[in-house]
Structure 1
Amino acid sequence: MAELKLGKLPDRTPVKLSITITPDLQAALQDYAAIYATTYGVQEPVAELIPAMLSAFLDSDRSFARIREAQRSKS
């Protein structure tokens, strides 16, 4: 079998998640969306920003990454 530089793409099937948040968090998310629009000149709904925000948070948490990797290598 040929060795390609690009590996097999991961599952990209969207998963819907419903959550309940506090009014303070909703206000902060709305403020973030407004600042995002001012910064980039593009209005994005909060629901579109949240997945990127969560990914950025998880990607920046080095302790989480270390523990997750250790757990994966055990299995």
Structure 2
Amino acid sequence: MTKLRLGPIADDKPVRLTVELPAAVHRDLAEYGRLLARESGRSEIAPAKLIAPMLARFMEADRGFRKQREKAALCSGPSSDPS
């Protein structure tokens, strides 16, 4: 069996966000949830629980995003102004 890219789902305090997804994307999320649940020995993983970890993994893998975020952090970092 192929190992899925998404690992265990963290149980973190959520921030509510409402999104509309195309039906095909929802079906794929539901299928991914079924496969991940089977792989991890859980009974079920709801599609909504997959969205945040998938987005986080996508952003972690985006080199351009990481580079721009690091650049922005350097620009807004601690000020060298002694006042």
* TM-score, normalising length: structure 2: 0.66
Alignment match, 1:15: 15
Task: Report the counterpart of residue 71 of structure 2 in structure 1.
Answer: 70
How far did residue 15 of structure 1 move? 1.9
Match of 1:3 in 2: none
Which residue pairs with 1:29 in the alignment? Answer: 29
| Counterpart position of 2:40 | 40
Aligned residues: 64
Residue identity in the other structure for 1:51? A
CA RMSD of aligned residues (A): 1.7
Gaps of 5+ in 1: 1-11
Q: What CA distance in whole angstroms lies between the structure 2 residues aligned with 1:21 and 1:13?
A: 23
**Identical columns (%):** 30
Q: List structure 1 runs of 4+ shifted beyond 2 angstroms.
A: none
Task: Provide the rounded CA distance (Å) in 2 between the counterparts of 1:22 and 1:64.
Answer: 25
Whether the 8 Å CA contact 2:26–2:47 is kept in 1: the answer is no
Select the structure that is richer in helix: 1
What is the CA distance between 1:13 and its match in structure 2? 6.1
